[in-house]
Chain A
Amino acid sequence: MNSLILRTATKILVSLMLLFSIFIMLRGHNEPGGGFVGGLIASTAFGLYAVAYGPQAVRNAIYFDPRKIAMFGLGLGILAGIIGILAKGVFLTGTWTHLGGIAIGTPVLFDLGVYFVVVGAVMTLILAMEEEE
């Protein structure tokens, strides 16, 4: 779509939305939010970018093939489960460590995985639609 207003606004909005998506994902740990919602916000941002600048620009921006991003997220989820086996003996058991006062554990890793799966899957669909035309 060739609209100056959209293009200018998109530049600001996309960066804000991406930042917000990461915020939502991290916030999801103890409050409403999480990987799924964060991933959806991020893919909305990229979707907006695709509308304004075309699908090729999005492909350049995310650099990796969206299908690979989705599979990478799945890999993170499996990794979170396997860490549970190694640390506590049972798959998917929450395992925590403290890095400089911040508790980081496998649920965070799992949520990150969900984030990537959602971004990858939704981007695959959006780009498939945009590139069909």
Chain B
Amino acid sequence: MNNLLVMPIVIPFSAAVLGMMFNKYKMARRGISLAGSLALLVVSTLIMLTVQRQGIFALQMGLWKAPFGITFVADHLTAIMVMLTSIIGLIGVVYSFADIDEARESFGYYSLLQVLVGGVCGAFLAGDLFNLYVWFELILISSFSLLILGGEKAQIDGAIKYIAINLVATLMFLCGIVLLYGITGTLNMADLHLKVKDVANTGLLTGIGVLFIMAFGIKSAVFPLYFWLPASYHTPPVIVSAIFSGLLTKVGIYAFMRVFTLIFTQDVAYTHNMLLIIAGFTMVSGVLGAAAHNEIRKILLFHIISQIGYLLMGVALFSPLAMVGSVYFLGHIIIVKTNLLLIGGIIKRNAATLELKLVGGYYKSAPILAIMFFVSAFSLAGFPPLSGFWAKFVLIKSSLIQGSFGIAATALAVGLMTAYSMTKIWGEAFWKPNPQEDDCSKQALSNQERYLMYGPVIGLTIMTVVMGIWAQPFLEMSNYAAQELFNPANYVKAVLGVMP
């Protein structure tokens, strides 16, 4: 039964292997990738159901007992994240059918995508820190390959900045892990939770915690360390940017959530306050960057950074309610942000550019697209009754309860600025008459492409509406995840088999 937990890795990897073996045949590689994504969705649903029915469960690989072997654990947070990953993976594959050109495809695009999805799932399931490091590296190498696939000059330029800073991050992560091993003698996260309490020198632990903040901070693009993201994410095809924005930085946030509730809680006043300040600056600088740009994708990419600030805020406030907000926000942002980028992809496909100066008139020529954008953009800005409203509501409420008025004010102001940026895109791309009206280079989508591109967009828009109007079950699920994060006893018991 517990072997269910390796399936989110086995299925994408098998799909990658088979896809590469039958790479010659277009239908085969597409079909295999699609089948793999569907199977992953089924498996992630099963994991979710199992977690809801019987609580946290773990798999000890190769029958090695817990602190010694490789452990995979699924709690509510993991189940939610794997579920979201499988949704984004499926949508990415479908959208790619229309968006990825033949040259990239035949080089093995779908295999790389599946390896990326498998790596992300692995990071969410990993039960020990070194395993997490290995998955981080796998994600890095597969995302790097996706980023550079196609070999355009801008892509190479962006990829250099991407890999350079991210390699430094993984090395910092490695150093942090081994220092932690040096003082506790274990790498298993559940075991670490027990062992760090016995460490006399808490200053040393806090120092290692800061090393982790740096490493995860680079990975999740927080305030002073985010500059690699706007330098690289806008260079590959739009669908690749969308998948990256949905999955990659969120792995960093997941790692923050896990490590800063389970291990580094001995000096909350220092580490979590530091995170709170970082979160505030991340929000503000991201949204200001978005205001300064005039290209749809770049605006949206800067908004990734500002939303990372909200996610981090929930971690930094370090209360169950804030964590509920953060987990819910994670689901909301993965769906909405990916959706906005996919809409950008349709515009790019149609107008061959994303410069706001050069596009326009989509309210008239593509009303469905306009509605989808309208809904997603308002959700991102946090208007009720969409999912973004509840996410921000819970976060700001918890910050007010805890008396962190500064961050609450920042979050509200940044929400307003987000609305400004979204209005800018709306006014320029959708309402303004098309400046290239007589341009015959404008290409219409074929019917098949229209289904493949609109399908995912409509699906994701429905998800954000449902998450907003029918928020209760999703908030409850986030609540379970938060409760588990703040009462790690069950997590420890599931992994080690003993009550702490």
Q: Which residues of A contact B (CB under 8 A)?
A: 65, 67-68, 71-72, 74-75, 78, 81-82, 84-85, 88-94
Q: Which residues of A contact B17 (CB under 8 A)?
A: 71-72, 74-75, 78
Residues A71 and B20 in contact in the complex (CB < 8 Å), given A78-B10, A81-B10, A85-B3: yes
Least Cβ–Cβ distance between A54 and chain B, in angstroms: 22
Q: Mark B65-97, 1 if CB is under 8 A from A, else 0.
A: 000001000000000000000000000000000
Residues A93 and B62 in contact in the complex (CB < 8 Å), given A71-B111, A81-B6, A85-B3: yes
Residues A91 and B13 in contact in the complex (CB < 8 Å), given A68-B23, A71-B21: no
Give residues of chain B (1-44) contacting chain A, Cβ–Cβ below 8 Å.
2-3, 6, 10, 13-14, 16-18, 20-21, 23
Least Cβ–Cβ distance between A86 and chain B, in angstroms: 10
> What is the CA–CA distance of A65 and B21 in the complex, to the nearest angstrom?
10
Determine whether B61 belongs to the interface, using a CB cutoff of 8 Å to chain A: yes
Whether B21 contacts A91 by the Cβ 8 Å rule is no
> What is the CA–CA distance of A122 and B98 in the complex, to the nearest angstrom?
32
Determine whether B59 belongs to the interface, using a CB cutoff of 8 Å to chain A: yes
Closest 5 CB pairs of A and B: A71-B20, A75-B17, A91-B6, A92-B62, A92-B61
Q: Which residues of A contact B59 (CB under 8 A)?
A: 90-91
Q: List 28 A-B contacts (CB under 8 A).
A: A65-B23, A67-B108, A68-B21, A68-B23, A71-B16, A71-B111, A72-B17, A72-B21, A74-B17, A75-B21, A78-B13, A78-B14, A81-B6, A84-B62, A88-B63, A89-B3, A90-B3, A90-B59, A90-B61, A90-B63, A91-B3, A91-B10, A91-B61, A91-B62, A92-B70, A93-B61, A93-B63, A94-B62
Least Cβ–Cβ distance between A22 and chain B, in angstroms: 23
Whether B62 contacts A90 by the Cβ 8 Å rule is yes
Q: A71-B17, A90-B3 are in contact. List 13 more A-B contacts (CB 8 A).
A: A65-B23, A67-B108, A68-B20, A71-B21, A74-B16, A74-B17, A75-B17, A81-B10, A85-B3, A90-B2, A90-B63, A91-B6, A91-B59
* Closest partner residue, chain A, to B61 (CB atom): A92
> What is the CA–CA distance of A108 and B6 in the complex, to the nearest angstrom?
21
Whether A90 contacts B16 by the Cβ 8 Å rule is no
* Closest partner residue, chain A, to B1 (CB atom): A89
Q: Which residues of B contact A74 (CB under 8 A)?
A: 13, 16-17
Q: Which residues of A contact B3 (CB under 8 A)?
A: 85, 89-91
> What is the CA–CA distance of A88 and B60 in the complex, to the nearest angstrom?
12
Least Cβ–Cβ distance between A70 and chain B, in angstroms: 8
Q: Which residues of B contact A92 (CB under 8 A)?
A: 61-62, 70
Q: Which residues of A contact B108 (CB under 8 A)?
A: 67
> What is the CA–CA distance of A88 and B20 in the complex, to the nearest angstrom?
30
> What is the CA–CA distance of A75 and B3 in the complex, to the nearest angstrom?
18
> What is the CA–CA distance of A74 and B13 in the complex, to the nearest angstrom?
8
> What is the CA–CA distance of A89 and B23 in the complex, to the nearest angstrom?
33
Chain A CB count within 10 A is highest, among B10, B13, B62, for B62
Q: Which residues of B contact A71 (CB under 8 A)?
A: 16-17, 20-21, 111
Least Cβ–Cβ distance between A46 and chain B, in angstroms: 19
Least Cβ–Cβ distance between B340 and chain A, in angstroms: 33
Whether B21 contacts A82 by the Cβ 8 Å rule is no
Q: Which residues of A contact B10 (CB under 8 A)?
A: 78, 81-82, 91
* Closest partner residue, chain A, to B141 (CB atom): A121
Q: Which of B2, B14, B60, B63 contacts A75 (CB 8 A)?
A: B14
* Closest partner residue, chain B, to A94 (CB atom): B62
* Closest partner residue, chain B, to A89 (CB atom): B3
> What is the CA–CA distance of A79 and B204 in the complex, to the nearest angstrom?
43
Least Cβ–Cβ distance between B46 and chain A, in angstroms: 16
Chain A CB count within 10 A is highest, among B3, B17, B18, for B17
Q: Which residues of A contact B6 (CB under 8 A)?
A: 81, 91
> What is the CA–CA distance of A71 and B114 in the complex, to the nearest angstrom?
12
> What is the CA–CA distance of A88 and B61 in the complex, to the nearest angstrom?
11
Least Cβ–Cβ distance between B246 and chain A, in angstroms: 24
Least Cβ–Cβ distance between A96 and chain B, in angstroms: 13
Q: Which residues of A contact B23 (CB under 8 A)?
A: 65, 68
* Closest partner residue, chain A, to B115 (CB atom): A74
Least Cβ–Cβ distance between A81 and chain B, in angstroms: 7
Least Cβ–Cβ distance between B380 and chain A, in angstroms: 37
Least Cβ–Cβ distance between B126 and chain A, in angstroms: 14
* Closest partner residue, chain B, to A88 (CB atom): B63
Give residues of chain B (298-339) contacting chain A, Cβ–Cβ below 8 Å.
none
Q: Which residues of B contact A93 (CB under 8 A)?
A: 61-63
> What is the CA–CA distance of A88 and B62 in the complex, to the nearest angstrom?
9
Q: Which of A67, A78, A82, A84 contacts B20 (CB 8 A)?
A: A67
> What is the CA–CA distance of A82 and B3 in the complex, to the nearest angstrom?
10
Q: Which residues of B contact A82 (CB under 8 A)?
A: 10
Q: Which residues of B contact A85 (CB under 8 A)?
A: 3
Q: Which residues of B contact A81 (CB under 8 A)?
A: 6, 10
Least Cβ–Cβ distance between B127 and chain A, in angstroms: 13
